[in-house]
Chain A
Amino acid sequence: MYRRFAPRVRLYGRKHLHDEAAAEDLAQQVLLLTIERLRAGEVRSPDEIGSFILGTSRVLADSTRRKARRRESLTAQFHVQQVYAEPLAETSDIEAVARCLHSLAERDRRVLVLTFYAEKTSPEIADELGVTGTVVRVARHRALERLRECVGGHAARKS
């Protein structure tokens, strides 16, 4: 069960909490809670496990977000120096991503960096590049597909 659901809870956490450490904590908490409920016999059917884990992920992620907002507000109020750990750049092959990223068309490269690094939504990117949101979304998923193929090709050649 851990192998099956931990990566999904982690992804859920990264998507909704925008913080790698918080996502890792969420995965630990959710799966511990799930194991407890399974042992107590409160979750029985295999079909229920996914729903239970998603529901628990939502509740705990909401709580984490509320705490983070409170912390941010206190930090702003009292000018407390924020201390945070930079998430690890743990990716299978950053070198290959760099090479493949630079093989893309200039605008596609910019769209990907604006999305995944500057964390801009498509309307914001559209505004910066002077195109429509639809153009950005199409360019983004096509560019990401090309990047995936290219990185996959590198990995296949390496192995």
Chain B
Amino acid sequence: MSDTRCSTPIEFAEIVDYWSGDLTEADEHRIDEHVFGCANCARELATVETMGRGIAAVAREGRFRGVITDSILNRLSADGLRIRMFTLDGPTVVPCAVWAGDDLVISRIRADFTDLDAVTIVSRQASGEEISRISDVAIRPGQREILNAFPADRLRKLPATRVQITVTGHVGSAERTLAEYTLEHGGSFDRSAGGSSTL
């Protein structure tokens, strides 16, 4: 076991599998031993670890935006993030707002995704300015809804406005508008300020 020898460097992919718990116990032991004797591979492992901590920190601080799954939502709740959720399920205008203390705002987008390969979700202000765009969201068979997360801090900067969300479905190279939803964004509110104040 010496830092001067690394005749069999571990592939980056295997280091990632090791850190993610996807190796057998025997392979984990092999990599443990290698890392203790190899400065280069120890550095690669440290990089994976640092990146992993960074990703976890982004999520834990409510700064992640994009599509999430139920298990990410469960973890965010378990970590004590204050989550405001709106369900979009049809042509009704959904009133919404962001409150002081909110960390994350999640839209639960329901539609008929049958036979689609993927969808694109675009949110726009009444002025037409794009707020967010998520392209190529893969759809799995039987999927009924998409959870779209947005950091509350970013929404606090948004004035009171009507928000249009368009979901476009893709099958191969063909695409079609699948659904449109409207949110009436009331602005940013603060209960502790003794009332409601909008930006």
Residues on A lying within 8 angstroms of B by beta carbon are 4-5, 7-8, 11-12, 14-15, 46-51, 53-54, 58, 89-94, 97-98, 101-102, 105-107, 109-110, 112-122, 124, 128-131, 133, 137-138, 140-141, 144-145, 147-148, 151
Contacts and interface: CB of A to CB of B under 8 A. Distances in A.
B51 A151 contact: yes
Which applies to chain B's interface (DSSP): helix, strand, loop or mixed? helix
Q: What is the interface residue range for chain B against chain A?
A: 35 or more
Interface of B: 1-3, 12-13, 16-22, 32-33, 35-37, 39, 42, 45-61, 63-72, 74-75, 134-138, 140-141, 143
A151 B21 CA distance: 24
Chain A CB count within 10 A is highest, among B39, B50, B143, for B50
B106 to A, nearest CB: 14
| 5 closest residue pairs by CB, A with B | A130-B140, A50-B1, A97-B54, A89-B57, A116-B52
A89 B36 CA distance: 25
B20 A140 contact: yes
Given A89-B61, A120-B71, A141-B13, A115 B20 contact: yes
A102 B65 contact: yes
Given A102-B65, A110-B69, A110-B72, 5 more contacts: A48-B1, A115-B20, A115-B55, A129-B69, A129-B140
Contacts of B72: 110, 113-114, 117-118
Nearest to A112: B55
B54 A11 contact: no
A97 B1 CA distance: 34
Contacts of A109: 66
Contact of B141 (A113, A130, A140): A130
A109 B75 CA distance: 16
Contact of B135 (A51, A53, A106, A133): A106
Contacts of A148: 47, 51
A46 B2 contact: yes
